[in-house]
Structure 1
Amino acid sequence: MQTRTSSSFVPRYRQLAEQIRRSIESGELPPGSRLPSSRVLAQEQGVSRATVENALGELVAQGWLERRSRSGTYVSAALSTRPVRPLQKGADRRHPAPLPFQPGLPALDAFPRGLWARVMGRRLRQQSRFDLALPDPAGNWGLRQAIADWLRFSRSIDCRPEQVFIAAGYPMVMTLLLRALARQGDGIWVEDPGYPFIRPVLEQNGLRLNPVPVDGEGMVIDEAIRRYPGARFALLTPAHQSPLGVALAASRRRQLLAWAVQRDAWIIEDDYDSEFRYQGRPLPPLKSLDAPRRVIYAGTFSKTLFPALRCGWLVVPEEVTNAFAEQSVLTPCSVPPLIQLAISDFIGEGHFWRHLKKMRQIYTQRRRWLEQALAEQGFPVVPQAGGIQLLMPVTGDDRTAAARARDAGLAVEALGAWRLESQGEGGLIMSFTNITSARHAEELAARLHRALL
């Protein structure tokens, strides 16, 4: 007989109902937002549709959800007038919900958590005593093989697993790279404007930042060569420049590769969100054109899966694999082996490809919702062919505008804060990935409008 004395004996449908209720209370599922179908929820949670229907039925009876004929199940709109429950002490306080518009965050509600739990659970059950030994400091071989296979299939990058090195997130990926190849005082071209959060890592490893302006065709290579002829590294996002969204022109790609050969320099290609291109296939990476073998390709699973994995990788030319292998012994991969094995299975069993395909469709819709909502408030948006964030031009001081938005609980970032030396139009950088409905987008756009008045 099932009792309530222990969570392990609580019926599964009630556990699911409690999980959904907490998502509503935290704001992850706002009033008026539509829930996935019972079939999708059942697949994500690894339960039967009957279990899902029982959970939804209980929440409908309690007033948390409402059914709409031929439309689906929605969070009750009446909850918008219900006072927000204060945070409880303990776990809830340690895991606050991300703020709206937070850049760099994938759609957390759309990740198949149930499927991921089954992949992880199977790997945990299959562990042998040998899995308890020290792991390979360069990363699990199966994951390195899976990444090499995936890049060959999706990005036309021909590499072997020996060329793939795993590290705990993008900062550690860059740290491994620079400790293997860089010298104190080396110059590195960086995009201006460009991703600001990696700059401290570069400087802490002894590099000099060489800011290079970006125009409608990407990094201005002529300007980089003219201003910093002795640089040894170039770090850029050629497929989808962050944050302007432009692609590096073909002529500049050839020019960049020629410079690297002539100067015996290294190109670091950050392909951070190229999988999310909504018009045609993703653009080919520089690495796929790298006959001279001067490109180091960097990526993470933070935006394609979820950030808590803290798992990134490098693909390096064959000539420097020994240098990286030696450095990885001193800077070993700290991603838990179980996580690496689960990612390897997730890729190898086809779940990764299906997940990305689904996310492209979801992001296309969610971007459209936000663009339309911003337009209704009189805000323009810079057109982009892909990515997981958008840029909204603003007149005047964009840092002041961003501060006002943050005071209103909106996690936008000022384009000016991403600049080092370059001048240009101000703007606000915001993500659309966790917008769950057109109504949700309208509410956030109206909130932004009020904050900027």
Structure 2
Amino acid sequence: MNTSVPSFRNAETPSALQLRIDRTLDQPMYLQICQRFKTAIELGHLRAGDRVPAARALAAELSLARSTVDLAYRILADEGYFQGRGAAGTVVSPRLPQAVVARPQGSLPPVAPATIVDHDGKAPKPLQLGLPALDAFPRKVWNRLVTHRLRGSEPMRLGYPDPQGFEELRERIATYLGVSRGVSCVPEQVFVTTGLRTTLELSLRSLSSPGDAFWFEDPGYILARPFLHNAAVTVVPVPVDEHGLRVDEGRRLSPYARFAMVTPSNQSPLGVTLSLERRMALLDWASEAGSWIIEDDYDSEFRYQGRPLPALKSLDRNDRVIYAGTFSKVMFPGLRLAYAVAPLSAVRRFQAVSSNLNAGSPYLLQSSVADFMAQGHFPRHLKKMRQLYAERRAVAQRAFQRVLGERVRIDLRPGGLHLLARLADGDSDMALAERARDAGLAVHPLSRWYMAAPPRQGLLMGFANIADEREALRLAGRLQAALG
């Protein structure tokens, strides 16, 4: 019979400690306790200075005599693993030798190159893609709104949220899209999700069949590819040029594909805009083939030349477009809030899948975003960010072009939150990006975003968190040194 401690956690212990004692083993229980703690320390689950459970509490949880646990703790202290601090309890020794805390080599497989991500819950790296200006978000306003909702929440809000999303937030999203993006929709069409991948899962589960063909921009959004390759669809790479997705090539490669996914306002990663002629051709194809278009409108709010373009869905007269938006770029990614606007004809299917797919997003965050929009903070923040990003974009482009010289060419695109530095002939973007990442810079090689089309060489760099020219020049110098 095994006895386990489900979790011991306090303010000084970074992670829950699982401790299992097997009474069927010949090994004495005090030695089992010793081994479990040593393993936790060696794997990094317990670190130097972390408190461990009090002997009395551990003995009670394991249904053991206090003397058994005391003996284990004395052995661990004698061997240098534990240190007693009197009334403050027992902690993992701050003087642990490095050999003890080293993680086993080769215990985890290396990350596949195509799935490298920078968001690991730690401080963002310089030049990281997909990040808005975290320093410029109105945190005081946001904290006040969250606190207000937290204090005033009714008991019913402690239950499970609506899988489709908080009704007031869906109403605000529908109103915002109608005014700013030209998308005419009702709240019943809006589904709150946690991000693009959840939106894709909702869409595919609602409308796809195994083996369906799926047009995907080439190059296209790299973080969507692993999900699609694991889904029951056949990915068809369709080339992109200066006018966006080549619809004629899509028709040639797979005329009756079930889906097409596009980033028409700011193509990811090239930054081009899908021309009106191509937009109409794509909509005509979808209507003729009975196909669905997923419009990923991830950062269309940030356009620095003219007004933001209307969404592809605003041109949709045959109900074939699934619109995907997000709060990650316009507010901050830690929200984990995005949304999909389903075609009217597919709302019932989306609702059925949504109720089985998840238990909904947290009420507190959804309601706070609804208040942020209702009280006028959202449009004010967007206006401020457009101006700020236009300035930071220009500063970053000048600094990097000046420092890196003829080795790169940085042409500013009309919108977006990243720069694309084209490389001189002979340079390998994969090798250069690897050197830059070794130097702590979150640079992405453009060629990795391609699938079947001949890859072009370039470096992708986020600029939204470059505060001023001084920082831009410093980062450009670091990149130059890393490139060699």
Tell me if both proteins adopt one fold, taking TM over 0.5 as the criterion: yes
Please give the alpha-carbon distance, in whole angstroms, between the structure 2 residues aligned to 1:391 and 1:152.
31
Q: Secondary structure of 2:175's partner?
A: helix
Amino acid paired to 1:222: D
Q: How many Å apart are 1:96 and its aligned residue? A: 2.8
1:436 aligned partner:
467
391, 406, 409: which is aligned to 1:380?
A: 409
| Partner of residue 131, structure 2 | 105
SS where residue 268 of structure 1 aligns? strand
1:326 aligned residue: 352
Q: Which whole-Å CA distance do the structure 2 matches of 1:412 and 1:200 have between them? A: 20
Is 1:183 aligned to residue 209 of structure 2?
A: yes
Q: State how far apart, in whole Å, the 2-side matches of 1:424 and 1:235 are.
A: 20
Distance 1:247 1:402 in 2: 26
Q: Report what 2:477 is aligned to.
A: 446
Deviations 1:277-320 (A, max 9, x none): 01111111110001111000001111111111111110011111
Instruction: Check the 8 A contact 1:168/1:333 in 2, yes or no.
Output: no
**1:161 is aligned to 2:201:** no
| 1:366-413 Cα shifts (integer Å, max 9, x gaps) | 111111101211132022011000100113211111101101111010
Shift of 1:95: 5.3
Separation (CA, whole Å) in 1 of partners of 2:356 and 2:398:
51
1:176 and 1:194 mapped to 2: Cα distance?
20
Are the aligned partners of 2:163 and 2:361 in contact in 1 as well (CA < 8 Å)? no
User: Which secondary structure does the structure 1 equivalent of 2:220 belong to?
Assistant: coil
Residue 115 in 1 paired to residue 144 in 2? Answer: no
Matches within 5 A, 1:354-433: 354-377=380-403, 378=405, 379-395=408-424, 396-433=427-464
- Residue from 246, 270, 275 that aligns with 1:249: 275
Which runs of structure 2 are paired with 1:46-445 in the superposition (5 Å)? 96-377=122-403, 378=405, 379-395=408-424, 396-445=427-476
Aligned to 1:16: none
2:398 aligned partner, one-letter code: Q
Deviation at 1:165, TM superposition (A): 0.4
* AA partner of residue 444 (structure 2): E
Whether the aligned pair in 1 keeps the contact of 2:164 and 2:360 (CA below 8 Å) is no
Q: Distance in 1 between matches of 2:358 and 2:455?
A: 41
Ranked by relative contact order (alpha carbons within 8 Å, sequence separation 6 or more), the top structure is 1
Q: CA deviation at 1:348?
A: 1.1
CA RMSD of aligned residues (A): 1.3
Query: Does the 8 Å contact 2:256/2:291 carry over to 1?
Result: no
SS at match of 1:197: coil
Note the alpha carbon deviations across 1:231-270, whole angstroms, 9 max, x for none: 1100010111011111111111111001001100000000
- 8 Å CA contact 1:138–1:332 kept in 2: the answer is no
Residue type matched to 1:318 in 2?
Answer: L
- Give the match's secondary structure for 1:274: coil
Identity between Structure 1 and Structure 2 (%): 49
Cα distance in 2 for partners of 1:333, 1:165 equals 13
- AA aligned opposite 2:423: V
SS at match of 1:299: strand
Contact 1:388 1:432 in 2 (8 A): yes
Q: Could you list the runs of 5+ residues in structure 2 that have no partner in the other structure?
A: 1-119
Residues 40-76 of structure 1 show CA distances to partners (whole Å, capped at 9, x for unaligned) of: xxxxxxxxxxxxxxxxxxxxxxxxxxxxxxxxxxxxx
Q: C-alpha displacement at 1:230, in angstroms?
A: 2.4
Which runs of 5 or more residues in structure 1 are unaligned? 1-93
1-side partners of 2:122 and 2:162: how far apart? 34
Figure out how many residues of one structure are paired with residues of the other and give that number: 361
In structure 2, the CA distance between the partners of 1:95 and 1:197, relative to structure 1 (3 Å rule), is closer
What is the letter of the counterpart of residue 320 of structure 2?
Answer: R
Q: Distance in 1 between matches of 2:195 and 2:236?
A: 24
Residue 179 (structure 1) shift: 0.6
Task: Note closer, same or farther for the CA distance 1:398–1:256 as it changes in structure 2 (3 Å cut).
Answer: same
Question: Amino acid of the residue matched to residue 448 of structure 2?
Answer: A
State how far apart, in whole Å, the 1-side matches of 2:156 and 2:360 are. Answer: 18
Larger Rg belongs to: 2
CA contact (8 A) 2:300 2:415 kept: yes
Question: Is contact 1:269-1:296 (8 Å) kept?
Answer: yes
For 2:438 and 2:358, locate their aligned partners in 1 and report how far apart those are by CA, in whole Å: 40
Amino acid at match of 1:153: V
> Secondary structure at the residue paired with 2:421?
strand
Letter in 1 for 2:436: A
Offset at residue 333 of structure 1 (A)? 4.9
1:265/1:294 contact within 8 Å kept: yes
Partners of 1:382 and 1:209 in 2: how far apart? 30
> Structure 1 residues 349 and 326, CA, compared in 2 at 3 Å: closer, same or farther?
same
Judge conservation of contact 1:139–1:333 (CA < 8 Å) in 2.
Answer: no
Of residues 131-140 and 146-155 in structure 1, the stretch that sits farther from structure 2 once superposed is: 131-140
TM-score by length of 1: 0.78
The answer to whether the Cα contact below 8 Å between 1:190 and 1:209 also exists between their aligned partners in 2 is yes
The answer as to whether partners of 1:374 and 1:380 remain within 8 angstroms in 2 is: no
Structure 1 segments (4+ residues) deviating >6 Å: none
Q: Partners of 1:190 and 1:229 in 2: how far apart?
A: 13
Shift of 1:174: 1.1
- Please name the residue that 1:81 is paired with: none
How far is the alpha carbon of 1:424 from its aligned partner?
4.1
State the SS of the aligned residue for 1:386.
Answer: coil
